[in-house]
Structure 1
Amino acid sequence: MKLRNQLHSIQFKLTLTFLLILLPLVSVSVFANNYSQSIMDEQIGDRTRGALLTTLEYVDQLTKNMDQQTLMIGLNPSIVDIWNDIDNPLSPDHLYGLHSVQQQLSAITNVNGAIKEAFIIHGESGNGVSTMTGGVRWPEVKQEFWFKQTVNSNGGLVVHIPTNTGIGQSKYLNSDIIYYSRLLDVQSSIKEPNVLVLAVDKASFRKIIQHLQTSDNMNIQLFYNNSFVLETNPASVRGTGNEDEMMSISEASNYWSIQLEQPRSELFRLTHRLQQFTYLIIVVSIIMAVWLAWLVHVEISKPLQKLLAAFKQFSGGNFTTHIVHHRKDKFGAVMNGFNRMADAQRMLIEEDYEKELRLAKSEFSLLQSQINPHFLYNTLDSIYSVAIKNKIQEISEMVINLARFFRVSLGKGRETFTLEETVQHLMYYIRVQQIRTDHFTIQITIEEEAKPVQILKLLLQPVVENAIIHGLERSSQGGELRINANLTGGFLQIEVADTGIGITREKMNHLRNELAMITSHSYRISPSSPTDIYFGLKNVKSRLKLYYGEEADLTVVSVENEGTQVTLRIPLRKGEEG
């Protein structure tokens, strides 16, 4: 039913209308965003391919440079003649010539910084000379794949990239170096040709492609004849499974090829921001549509809701209901009519409320008047008992304190006294009881801030009377009466405790049930409850609820043979918190 009412509401219909108007605009925005993203994807891809081709040109140029260097050395007569006329370059007879060749190779490596090492291997003996180590001995070099490939190239340049496994594996070459090899003398007809090798560190190639590395998640791989050479970021995130999707762009030139991998979300970050901005505009547009629908309907729905709420409150018993508004239209006239109707109805029932208030006041006076006779009978009985028992002058002191007690109880018409005055008044009664029996002592602790707080007169006397007569007096070992008062959490808390005989668990449960029936709305003592059971405590709680409201309370905690504690919580009124 509630859902059906919402579907037929004005707000729902207006909101749906605005959303239907907004739907074509949102569709066009999404299409434009996707189309612009596809264009940007294509442009980014073209620019990336251009950068990769430019990088490959530098790599090819380095290879061409190595080709020229090896060809220049291989055709150098001063080097070729020395190597063609010897059978073992490391023999003592050829040390001078070997040194001359090493100097010429070192001059070339010093000019070209990309060349890390240059060496020549004698084909017949496997010995040679190197710019880094001087003489080298490679006895089984003719069995190396790269050596055979160089011999079979007929004087062409051979690029060899050593690997740790497979055909490219070599026990003489370093896997971190790229080797360019060529026959030392292409036109030589010797049985075992000599081989010239230029070693270029892969770091030189890494420097060429490193400028393309613009992100920590990007990886660039270089290949020669489809064989892996190096990569810039081996630990980069790869787009597999739930990981970010990777975009791969590759280009090839002659024997070299290069491949770039990068997460799409990072590569197209700007387009994603544009897409997010478009979605934000769509969301804002939808919110604006809903807001406009609400703004249109509120001028009709809101006053109707106010009227409906006012009628519900009035029918629920809140006769002070009043609609506050500043409208000048017809809704304003209807609200004014409701306010006049509510005022008239309230005037009709005021007399009944006044009667109830007068009844409550009379009951309040009756509750106070019920205490004095009750106390008077007990006190006169006490005086009589002492007179029969002792026949001493203490009776006079009891009478004096009793007279002072009644004189203050009259209070010259006052309903309340300060806590300090109340305790002083209470001491007259306690002194009478102490003279009558010496079974207990008294301890009073009152915070200074609590002394000026006003409380109802004769509020504590019934509680103290119960503690003495029903607790301490029945204890054969005497005991102590303690009165503590303090301010806490906006309440005045008064505790009256004794170390008497306590209350049994069965009677305690019955007492709690009797006290629980007394509230601020039902403060009269139940007619079904016997008037002579717990009269003092029920009377005190009734007066608390009637005078201070529902926040005020009286609680009782007792343990048999240990004692009883009665706690009064009185809410502080304005001006009493300090």
Structure 2
Amino acid sequence: MRRTAMIHFSRFHSIQSKLTVTFLLILLPLVAVSIFANYYSQRVMNEQIGDRTKGALLTTLEYVDQLSKSMDQQTLLIGSNPNIVDIWSNIDNPLSPEHLYEIHTVQQQLSALTNVNGAVKEAYIVHGESGNGVSTVKGGIKWPDVKREFWFRQTIDARGGLVIYVPTSKYAGRSEYLSDDMIYYVRLLDVLGNNKEPNVMILAVDKLSFRTIIQHLQTTGNTDISLFYNDGFVLETNPLSEESRSKPMFTIKAESGLWSIQLEQPQFELFQLSGNLQRFTYLIILVSVLLAIWMAWLAYIGITKPLHQLSGAFRQFSRGNLTVQVEHKRKDELGFVMNAFNQMAASQRKMIEDDYEKELRLAKAEFSLLQSQINPHFLYNTLDSIYSVASKKKVPEISEMVINLARFFRVSLGKGKDSFTLAETALHLMYYIRVQQIRTDHFTVEIDLAEETKHLPILKLILQPVVENAIVHGLGGSPDEGKLYIRSRIGEAGLLLEVEDTGAGIGEDKLSEIKRELDGITSKTYRISQDSPPTRYYGLKNVKSRIKLFYGEAAELLLYSKQDVGTKVTLVLPLAKEKQA
């Protein structure tokens, strides 16, 4: 995990990454300016389109106001015409036979006046008392509930002012004389008179006249123009579907008096050109970024890639690959550096090869010396044990001790082998343990080897000195019956071999002294120091020297002890070395 993190870190800090980041940083101001300019131009364009559209809407409303003013003048002209007002004054029923001629004359006058303005489709005069009246289209009309109509009451409240009434489907159906396709302009007939019951005149203007006025604002098939009066809907030019309204819409509204107009159009249509410009700007930014990466790659190929090759060769060389060579065809300064590296690697390899055999012979000599030193030492102790038993008991057990001892020596010679499997080592070790058990009958042994460790090869005679110390100095120094444990398992550091006894243990001062002696032994200083007497801690020092020499610096001998409790020695042997043995 740590190695992977270091590789990622080194890649982040590589020259290629730095070149790429540098080129991108150079482009960053240009990209920022481009994006800002694009955003600013989009905003300015939106404002201009909004201002121009609103100006067009206000201009259209002026035409609508002019039409309303024309209707105002028309109704005022009719309402102040004495020839019409006098006929309708002080009569109870305008449709009675005695008034038919006068009503017909009024109808003709209305037709003449309304024909001047082609927007007026129909004109009415309604008698307020009876609800009867006259129409330029229908002739005589009967409107009995006219006084209950909203627009009628509104006209009375206006006291001679013009009332614009836009019926909806909800109210238009209540009367056969009003239609939701018309806009009605209503005024009292006698503006200055004092009739006992007010009479009203009505001019009906087709909504198509208004649609014609606002139709020119519709530029596309998806544009909808809506007209409102006093916040009430009047008409729209192109009702949009729910699907169209679900898309982003550009909406703008303008007001003039009680009239207002609203334009709705999909944004993608209105800003299509600016959207194309925006996409073109993004495309340029993308191409610029790709060019920056491409230029960084070219610089990497020309400059940093050779450096990467050279650094990789140095890493391999530092890991022990002395045959590494940098292949190239360059004739520039980098080529000169690569040639110098190849020459340096070749010289170093030759130097190591010349010294290797000398060091190898020296190491083998040291190894043979260390291994040969242990046999006499062990032999003296064993013979002493046999002598003690023979002197005290003079029993047949001596023969068994001699047989086990002979087997032990036969395996120790090993026919030139330097290592045995752990299972073979344990069997070999039992010959020696049996000799000691016959010598002293107050300890038992328990061997627990993990199944996955039995086939692993280990250096011969590295457990015997430790077991000997445990029996002689540990269990032999305890008056009670003790136990000897020999275990093996696989740990994170490699193969772990444990020899533990429940004997006398080691005091703190002596334990510290032994650890100091052992700490001075490394793979580079494996020769046993001559500063101390040769028999002082000889077994443990010999074992640590041999495992350091054979397994390398990662091998270790760990010592734990507590007085009157027992001692445990743990050998840590790297698995890589064991597999190579």
Q: What CA distance in whole angstroms lies between the structure 2 residues aligned with 1:275 and 1:391? A: 109
User: AA paired with 2:329?
Assistant: R
* CA deviations over 1:530-577 (Å, ceiling 9, x no partner): 543432222112111211223333223334433332222323359959
Taking the TM superposition and a 5 Å limit, the aligned residue runs for 1:153-232 are: 154-157=161-164, 185-187=188-190, 189=194
Are the structure 2 counterparts of residues 458 and 338 from structure 1 closer, same or farther at C-alpha, using a change threshold of 3 Å?
A: same
User: AA paired with 2:150?
Assistant: I
- 1:89 corresponding residue in structure 2: none
The alpha carbon displacement at 1:298 in A equals 5.3
Q: What CA distance in whole angstroms lies between the structure 2 residues aligned with 1:560 and 1:261? A: 97
The alpha carbon displacement at 1:414 in A equals 1.8
- Segments of 5+ residues of structure 2 without an aligned counterpart are 1-14, 73-119, 133-141, 167-182, 202-217, 219-225, 233-249
The alpha carbon displacement at 1:270 in A equals 6.6
Q: For residue 446 of structure 2, give the secondary structure of its aligned residue in structure 1.
A: strand
Contact 1:120 1:194 in 2 (8 A): no
User: AA paired with 2:494?
Assistant: F
* CA deviations over 1:96-150 (Å, ceiling 9, x no partner): x99x639xx9xxxxxxxxxxxx953996xxxxxxxxxxxxxxxxxxxxxxx7995
User: AA paired with 2:502?
Assistant: T
User: AA paired with 1:327?
Assistant: K
Contact 1:122 1:194 in 2 (8 A): no
Contact 1:250 1:258 in 2 (8 A): yes
Contact 2:31 2:285 in 1 (8 A): no
The alpha carbon displacement at 1:444 in A equals 1.1
Q: What CA distance in whole angstroms lies between the structure 2 residues aligned with 1:370 and 1:492? A: 25
* CA deviations over 1:137-182 (Å, ceiling 9, x no partner): xxxxxxxxxx7995256132389xxxxxxxxxxxxxxxxxxxx998
- 1:444 corresponding residue in structure 2: 447
The alpha carbon displacement at 1:367 in A equals 0.8
Taking the TM superposition and a 5 Å limit, the aligned residue runs for 1:44-59 are: 46=49, 50=53
User: AA paired with 1:324?
Assistant: V
- 2:145 corresponding residue in structure 1: 101
Quick one: which of 158, 180, 189 aligns to 1:151?
158
User: AA paired with 1:151?
Assistant: A
Q: What CA distance in whole angstroms lies between the structure 1 residues aligned with 2:160 and 2:512? A: 113
Quick one: which of 370, 373, 385 aligns to 2:373?
370
- 1:206 corresponding residue in structure 2: none
- 2:325 corresponding residue in structure 1: 323
Q: What CA distance in whole angstroms lies between the structure 2 residues aligned with 1:547 and 1:565? A: 23
Q: Does 2:477 align with 1:470?
A: no
- 2:223 corresponding residue in structure 1: none
Q: For residue 157 of structure 1, give the secondary structure of its aligned residue in structure 2.
A: strand
CA RMSD of aligned residues (A): 5.8
Q: For residue 480 of structure 2, give the secondary structure of its aligned residue in structure 1.
A: coil
- 1:256 corresponding residue in structure 2: 260
Contact 1:519 1:550 in 2 (8 A): yes
Q: What CA distance in whole angstroms lies between the structure 1 residues aligned with 2:156 and 2:437? A: 126
- Segments of 5+ residues of structure 1 without an aligned counterpart are 1-10, 85-96, 106-117, 124-146, 160-179, 197-211, 213-220, 228-246
Q: TM-score, normalized by length of structure 2?
A: 0.58
The alpha carbon displacement at 1:486 in A equals 3.3
- 1:286 corresponding residue in structure 2: 292
Stretch deviating more after TM superposition (334-343 or 254-263): 254-263
- 1:389 corresponding residue in structure 2: 392
- 2:573 corresponding residue in structure 1: 570
Stretch deviating more after TM superposition (490-499 or 449-458): 490-499
Quick one: which of 246, 260, 283 aligns to 1:277?
283
The alpha carbon displacement at 1:52 in A equals 10
Q: Does 2:543 align with 1:540?
A: yes
- 1:419 corresponding residue in structure 2: 422
Stretch deviating more after TM superposition (35-44 or 529-538): 35-44
Q: For residue 555 of structure 1, give the secondary structure of its aligned residue in structure 2.
A: strand
Q: What CA distance in whole angstroms lies between the structure 1 residues aligned with 2:532 and 2:335? A: 54
Contact 1:418 1:455 in 2 (8 A): yes
The alpha carbon displacement at 1:459 in A equals 1.3
Contact 2:189 2:200 in 1 (8 A): no
Q: What CA distance in whole angstroms lies between the structure 2 residues aligned with 1:328 and 1:500? A: 72
The alpha carbon displacement at 1:289 in A equals 3.2
Are the structure 2 counterparts of residues 191 and 283 from structure 1 closer, same or farther at C-alpha, using a change threshold of 3 Å?
A: farther
Q: For residue 325 of structure 1, give the secondary structure of its aligned residue in structure 2.
A: coil
Count of residues in correspondence between the two structures = 443
The alpha carbon displacement at 1:411 in A equals 1.5
Are the structure 2 counterparts of residues 296 and 344 from structure 1 closer, same or farther at C-alpha, using a change threshold of 3 Å?
A: closer
The alpha carbon displacement at 1:482 in A equals 1.5
Taking every aligned residue pair, what percent have the same amino acid on both sides?
44
The alpha carbon displacement at 1:399 in A equals 2.0
Contact 2:547 2:555 in 1 (8 A): yes
- 2:556 corresponding residue in structure 1: 553
User: AA paired with 2:372?
Assistant: S
Stretch deviating more after TM superposition (359-368 or 567-576): 567-576
Are the structure 2 counterparts of residues 222 and 157 from structure 1 closer, same or farther at C-alpha, using a change threshold of 3 Å?
A: closer
Contact 1:53 1:253 in 2 (8 A): no
Contact 1:440 1:472 in 2 (8 A): yes
The alpha carbon displacement at 1:49 in A equals 5.8
- 1:166 corresponding residue in structure 2: none
User: AA paired with 1:156?
Assistant: V
Contact 2:501 2:566 in 1 (8 A): yes
Q: For residue 515 of structure 1, give the secondary structure of its aligned residue in structure 2.
A: helix
Taking the TM superposition and a 5 Å limit, the aligned residue runs for 1:294-333 are: 294-297=300-303, 302=307, 306=310, 320=322, 322-327=324-329, 329=331
- 2:431 corresponding residue in structure 1: 428
Q: For residue 434 of structure 2, give the secondary structure of its aligned residue in structure 1.
A: helix
